[in-house]
Amino acid sequence: MKKADEKKTADERCAKCGACTAVCPVYRISGKESHTARGRLHLLSRLINPSSTTFGEITSACLLCGACRDVCARKIDTLSPLIKAREHLPTSAQYHYVEKLIARKTLASPFLLRSFAKLRAGLIEHLPKSSGLRMKLAILPDDFLPTSLSFSRHSTTKNINKPKINYFSGCLARYLQRDIITATDFLTEQATGSPLLIPDDQTCCGLASFAAGSRKEAQELARTNIAAFAVNDLPILTSCASCYSHLRSYPELLADNPQWRKRAIEFAARLREFSSFFLEKCFVRSLMYPIKLNSAIPRVFYHDPCHLRFGPEKIIAQPRALLKKILGVPPLEPARGTHCCGQGGLFQLAHGELSRKIFTEALQDFSELSATHIVSTCSGCLLQWQKGVQEAGLNSQTCHLSVLLAKIIYANETA
Ligand code: SF4
Ligand code: SF4
């Protein structure tokens, strides 16, 4: 940033060029300037009443996808002013705040999450498949979830090697879709010869709290996670793209405390993203990939999580290269390119209709591919696709990338 710009607000630095409007999924659907980064920065610099409907609309109708920040030639951090403004939202009763609060509180509490997971199991039996509550609670029909996944261990069955890597599971894998853990553990054993080490004291990464404007809660969760993984200095693998992105931001989140910031920097340096990690291991161990499939090669569509696509590392090529390495063919690509799924964490709770319309565009592009499988590595994206595919009555299977790879490798090894 130029010296003269240092004292300017984000709105004052904005060139009003409109590059951010061209990439904003919300603006593409709503057509409202107040839904773009340019519009939000301008309005937030003038609005002073956080309990107003306008304030609630401006601050909540954003996916926090990061596309605007990524494209901005002036390198304006378009998200921070918005997240800061959300800190004032609790005083406002607008925009389904109660739902958002419940979701945030649930994610922030291991006790509530465990209770929710039990509640979910009970509800599955009683709720009709078409129930809207199923959708809201991310309760999907059993045949959409790989609930019976299990892999018998190989040579390590009797003499398991010491773990070489920790695992941060994220809430979806830990409480709702545990097959992600089973599959990641299987792949890790294949790649390193050792199982995962999963510290029990880990909790929600805190992204939901942070995105909802509850910085204190997010900081508390960050400190809990850093302490949970301080029992060793092994790398930390996470299979969730959103968690990975947020865990990496802990040094910034805890910047106001030098001691915790130092611990957060050390913690962040140990993080490993799912597809990058396994791609590297594939090449290092020279395993027999691509594998010889006993059945037809699955037609796989990989959905890019925004947190990886627009994150600092731009993790776009790695998951594609991993799929190609194992299957022998690259995943299918929609003609119009990658598309946001419209989930955006709490966005889909506060703005269900906008979220649904953004997803419909993604689904239209996807439908042209005749894919048999949809894979991703983001918990939120997976829920959005699982729900959307079910509603659309499509036969494609939707699962975490780890589940598809583990199933294929295991099936071929045991055939
Ligand atoms: S891309 Fe950046 S400079 Fe251009 S309008 Fe958007 S925020 Fe302003
Ligand atoms: S973060 Fe995404 S949804 Fe929000 S303003 Fe930027 S491009 Fe639009």
In sequence order, what DSSP letters do the residues of 337-375 get, joined into one string?
-----S-TTTHHHH-HHHHHHHHHHHHHHHHTT--SEEE
pLDDT of residue 245: 96
Establish if 101 belongs to a structural domain.
Answer: no
Establish if 348 belongs to a structural domain.
Answer: yes
Task: Output the pTM of the full model.
Answer: 0.85
β-bridge partners, 110: none
Residue nearest to atom 2 of ligand 2 (CA): 65
Give every residue of the chain whose pLDDT is below 70, as ranges. 1-5, 48-51, 89-160, 283-289, 294, 415
Cα–chain center distance at 151: 25
Establish if 104 belongs to a structural domain.
Answer: no
Structure tokens that stand for 352 in this block: 């269900």
The DSSP H or E segment spanning 65 is none
Instruction: Tell whether ligand 2 has an atom less than 6 A from the beta carbon of residue 66.
Output: yes
Residue nearest to atom 4 of ligand 2 (CA): 62
E strands of 212-350, at which residues?
236-238, 271-273, 300-302
For ligand 2, the distance from its centroid to the CA atom of residue 235, given in whole angstroms, is 32
* Structural domain boundaries, residue 302: 290-414
The total number of structural domains in the chain stands at 3
Residue nearest to atom 8 of ligand 1 (CA): 14
> One-letter amino acid identity for 304?
D
For ligand 1, the distance from its centroid to the CA atom of residue 308, given in whole angstroms, is 21
Q: Which ligand ends up closest to the CA of 68?
A: 2
Residue among 282, 109, 290 at smallest CA distance from 204: 109
Residues contacting residue 349 through CB under 8 Å, at least 6 positions apart = 96, 99, 100, 103, 136
Query: Do residues 294 and 229 touch, judged by C-beta distance below 8 A?
Result: no
pLDDT of residue 295: 73
Instruction: Tell whether ligand 2 has an atom less than 6 A from the beta carbon of residue 183.
Output: no
Instruction: Tell whether ligand 2 has an atom less than 6 A from the beta carbon of residue 67.
Output: yes
Instruction: Tell whether ligand 1 has an atom less than 6 A from the beta carbon of residue 19.
Output: yes
CA separation for the pair 61, 58 (Å, rounded): 6
pLDDT of residue 345: 79
Residues contacting residue 332 through CB under 8 Å, at least 6 positions apart = 299, 300, 301, 369, 371
Residue nearest to atom 6 of ligand 2 (CA): 68
For ligand 2, the distance from its centroid to the CA atom of residue 267, given in whole angstroms, is 28
Q: What is the pLDDT of residues 111-151, one digit of tens each?
A: 555 555 555 555 555 544 444 444 445 444 444 334 445 55
275, 301, 333 - which closes a domain? 275
41, 60, 95 - which closes a domain? 95
Instruction: Tell whether ligand 1 has an atom less than 6 A from the beta carbon of residue 86.
Output: no
Q: Are 203 and 58 in the same domain?
A: no
Query: Do residues 290 and 325 touch, judged by C-beta distance below 8 A?
Result: yes
Establish if 334 belongs to a structural domain.
Answer: yes
Residue among 189, 185, 203 at smallest CA distance from 239: 185
CA separation for the pair 138, 133 (Å, rounded): 8
pLDDT of residue 134: 46
